[in-house]
Amino acid sequence: MGDEHLRAPSGSRVASAAQFDVAVIGGGVNGTGVARDLALRNLRVVLFERNDLAFGASGNSSGMIHGGVRYLETNPSVTKTSCRDSGYIQQIAPFLLFRIPFLMPIAEGKKGRVLLELIDAYFRAYDDYQPLKHSELHTRLDSSELLQLEPGLVGRNAGGVTFDEWGVDGVRLCVLNAIDAEEHGTKLYTHTTVESVSKDEDAYVVSGRDLIDGRRVSARARVVVNATGAWSPITASLGGLPASRVRVRPGKGIHVVYDRRLSNYGVLAEAIDGRQIFAMPWQNVTVVGTTDDDYFGDLDDVVSTSEEVRYLVQGVARVFPAIRSARAIGTYAGVRPTLYEYGKLEDSLSREHAIVDHEADGSPNVFSMIGGKLASFRLFAQEMADRIARDLAPSSVCSTHTTPLPGGDSVPDAIALAERHELTPVMAKRIVFRHGSRAAAVLANLGRDPKAREVVCPCEPVLGAEVQHVIRKEHARTVDDVARRTRLGLGACGGMLCAERCGQIVARELGLAPSVGREQAHRFLARQAKMRAPALGPEQAVQEALALAQRRAVGP
Ligand SMILES: Cc1cc2nc3c(=O)[nH]c(=O)nc-3n(C[C@H](O)[C@H](O)[C@H](O)COP(=O)(O)OP(=O)(O)OC[C@H]3O[C@@H](n4cnc5c(N)ncnc54)[C@H](O)[C@@H]3O)c2cc1C
């Protein structure tokens, strides 16, 4: 990166900085994906993540490895690559994907019949891509079939179509990529923000600071990859690179979460401005999403607003009114690192990805990865890794589409696991969903440590054994990190039943003072309440604030 700008911060241990082939900045799906690809090619990789793995867009997406049906019209190549890569992701992590069949009702009215014909034809074109992602072909429905499948639908409909997509836990996808990279030699620094990238004779020096304990770390690397999503222009400027070369158009999207699965199918609806939104059964909750608005705020503190919630609920309620009486338990929000274009509406922006080679900026072997989708992350990572390997490992080939992610070699029988370990079937199923064949390793502590058998989070449910596992094996360092990896505290109780207990376990496992675990728990509860507030009415919000204050005053 432009040498004159690049100085290592005082106090860092540059002289003793470890030597790597590649330094990856950013622990979202693109950063962890490229780290894994490079590590599988035997390159020495270091990855820095400023917050936690999947903290950004990757952990706050709609959680769909979808084929991008709406891009078929404007960007058919995005649809094709998403579908093909979706097939690969199913191959390497079969335990982590779940089917989400969708319904698209078509309102009657003057043009209803014609629209149904057109949409039916559109989905026939989409059907061509379905074998790539092992999905069912679409079905055309008349209005009574529509109601039979989803009795909660209202309005006079000409008919509708079904189509098939796949859900995924985006956080687990990032964590598993990171863990596989680590198991192939990658050094992971989470909660470590990169503060500068400088250049000495033959390498770049990437210097970071651990935001939890203040420790400074440095790494020397021949290649640097900026995979910091919506933060990418800021990260580029840390190394003196022109931010204008890494242009993204940050697009904020929020989701509202309901306490249970409210429908059999994902239901598409139209928002007041004609944009497409949805309500879908996702894992054991319902998720309503999503907005897409230009974002100019703090990327490390993205919160939903009640206006955004109302926009979504209004649109969904027109076709599925039960949403109004359902119990919202939270919201979440993320920022898309969409490729920059001026003058277009947010949701018509391209979802393609791009690699920026900073050689033209005087920084050879520095790259920025921008744009893309969860659904095509593996391909994007492969393109980046192929480019790097051209110089560093010319005979290597990509194997991320054939090598299973951790736990992806087989899917254990959850019922047998439940019987063997005397767990409820739901518990065992959820552990298998998150860990695949490594579920046995997660449960290995059950016989040895009575605390491992404790149900820490009854809503999800999450066992003590899993909390221990994600702290010991998956770099969870806070209550928030445990929640991200296990969904502890993200259910109906909002963490009131489990956050403090989780804080005790985190403190004990990491050798911290109990007060640190307690403080972490309270921070988690406060954040959850802040994210839930926009989805609640004013009276519920007051109740929430009181409950939280009481919890803080009384302590565990
Ligand atoms: C609301 C929403 C819905 C979406 N739905 C879908 C979907 O259903 N399907 C789909 O395929 N795609 C979806 N996407 C798109 C997809 O989530 C993103 O394209 C993808 O996750 C981007 O990944 P990333 O790794 O580039 O960025 P991120 O996941 O944002 O990762 C960037 C990381 O960089 C870290 N970082 C920043 N600065 C520094 C620094 N100085 N040092 C170290 N680390 C740093 C951040 O903490 C962050 O974790 C959605 C996105 C949003 C926001």
**Closest ligand 1 atom, CA of 335?**
53
Query: Residue 355's closest CA among 344, 366, 364, 343?
Result: 366
Q: Which of 217-221, 241-245, 394-398, 429-433 has the lowest mean pLDDT?
A: 241-245
Q: Residue 174 has what pLDDT?
A: 98
Residue 3 DSSP one-character state: G
Q: Which of 81-85, 353-357, 545-549 has the lowest mean pLDDT?
A: 545-549
- Is pLDDT larger for residue 111 or for residue 23? 23
Residue ID of nearest Cα to ligand 1 atom 50: 61
**Separation CA 7–CA 53 (nearest Å):** 27
The bridge status of strand 139-141 relative to strand 157-168 is antiparallel
**pLDDT above 90 covers what percent of the chain?**
81
**Centroid of ligand 1 to alpha carbon of 153 (angstroms):** 33
Name the pLDDT band for 3 (thresholds 50, 70, 90).
Answer: very low
Name the pLDDT band for 347 (thresholds 50, 70, 90).
Answer: confident
Q: Does the reported pTM lie above 0.85? A: yes
Q: For residue 200, is pLDDT > 90?
A: no
**Separation CA 287–CA 329 (nearest Å):** 10
* Residues 273-317: tens digit of each pLDDT: 999 999 999 999 999 999 999 999 999 999 999 999 999 999 999
Query: Residue 506's closest CA among 523, 527, 526?
Result: 523
Name the pLDDT band for 546 (thresholds 50, 70, 90).
Answer: confident
Residue whose token pair is 């802040």? 530
Q: Residue 555 has what pLDDT?
A: 57
* Residue 67 CA: distances (Å) to CA of 77, 350, 555: 10, 14, 47
End-to-end CA distance of the chain: 50
Return mean pLDDT, the chain.
Answer: 92
Q: Residue 70 has what pLDDT?
A: 78
* Residues 110-147: tens digit of each pLDDT: 788 899 999 999 999 999 999 999 999 999 999 999 99
What's the mean pLDDT in 350-355?
A: 86
What's the mean pLDDT in 496-507?
A: 96
Q: Which of 68-82, 364-378, 397-411 has the lowest mean pLDDT?
A: 68-82
* Residues 139-181: tens digit of each pLDDT: 999 999 999 999 999 999 999 999 999 999 999 999 999 999 9
* Residues 426-463: tens digit of each pLDDT: 999 999 999 999 999 999 989 889 899 999 999 999 99
Strand partners, 205: 198, 220
**Separation CA 229–CA 226 (nearest Å):** 8
Q: For residue 12, is pLDDT > 50?
A: no
- Say which amino acid occupies 300: D
Inter-axis angle of helices 514-532 and 479-486, to 10 degrees?
60
CB 277 within 8 A of CB 253: no
What's the mean pLDDT in 394-406?
A: 97
Q: For residue 14, is pLDDT > 60?
A: no
> Among 80, 373, 380, which residue has the most ligand 1 atoms within 8 Å of its CB, making it the best to mutate?
373
Q: Residue 334 has what pLDDT?
A: 98
Query: Residue 172's closest CA among 232, 83, 95, 99?
Result: 95
HSE-up of 24 (CA within 13 Å, CB side)? 36
**Centroid of ligand 1 to alpha carbon of 41 (angstroms):** 24
CB 439 within 8 A of CB 417: yes
**SS3 for 171?**
helix
Query: Residue 483's closest CA among 174, 494, 473?
Result: 494
Residues with CB under 6 A from ligand 1: 25-31, 48-51, 55-58, 60-64, 66, 193-194, 227-231, 235, 253, 290, 334-337, 372-375
> Among 98, 231, 308, 352, which residue has the most ligand 1 atoms within 8 Å of its CB, making it the best to mutate?
231
Sign of dihedral through CA atoms 296, 297, 300, 305? negative
- Is pLDDT larger for residue 67 or for residue 437? 437
Name the pLDDT band for 61 (thresholds 50, 70, 90).
Answer: very high
Q: Work out the number of other CB atoms within 10 angstroms of the CB of residue 61.
A: 25
H or E element in which residue 416 lies: helix 414-421
Structure tokens at 377: 């992350």
**Centroid of ligand 1 to alpha carbon of 336 (angstroms):** 6
- Is pLDDT larger for residue 62 or for residue 448? 62
**Separation CA 348–CA 457 (nearest Å):** 40
- Residues whose CB falls within 8 Å of the CB of residue 46, separated by 6 or more in sequence, listed in order: 18, 20, 22, 23, 24, 186, 187, 188, 189, 206, 219, 221
Q: For residue 11, is pLDDT > 80?
A: no
Q: Residue 9 has what pLDDT?
A: 38
- Is pLDDT larger for residue 77 or for residue 464? 464
**Separation CA 546–CA 285 (nearest Å):** 26
H or E element in which residue 21 lies: strand 18-25
What's the mean pLDDT in 326-331?
A: 94
Q: For residue 480, is pLDDT > 70?
A: yes
Query: Residue 190's closest CA among 221, 215, 170, 168?
Result: 215
Q: Residue 68 has what pLDDT?
A: 77
**Closest ligand 1 atom, CA of 192?**
43
CB 205 within 8 A of CB 17: yes
CB 303 within 8 A of CB 530: yes
Strand partners, 267: 103, 279
**Centroid of ligand 1 to alpha carbon of 428 (angstroms):** 30
Q: Residue 112 has what pLDDT?
A: 83
**Separation CA 545–CA 556 (nearest Å):** 17
Q: Residue 16 has what pLDDT?
A: 56
Q: Residue 351 has what pLDDT?
A: 76
Residue ID of nearest Cα to ligand 1 atom 15: 373
Structure tokens at 126: 């989409």
Residue 213 DSSP one-character state: T
Structure tokens at 445: 């502590």
Strand partners, 541: none
- Residues whose CB falls within 8 Å of the CB of residue 413, separated by 6 or more in sequence, listed in order: none
What's the mean pLDDT in 306-333?
A: 96
> Among 24, 32, 49, which residue has the most ligand 1 atoms within 8 Å of its CB, making it the best to mutate?
49
Name the pLDDT band for 539 (thresholds 50, 70, 90).
Answer: confident
291 prior amide bond cis, ω within 30: no
- Say which amino acid occupies 390: R
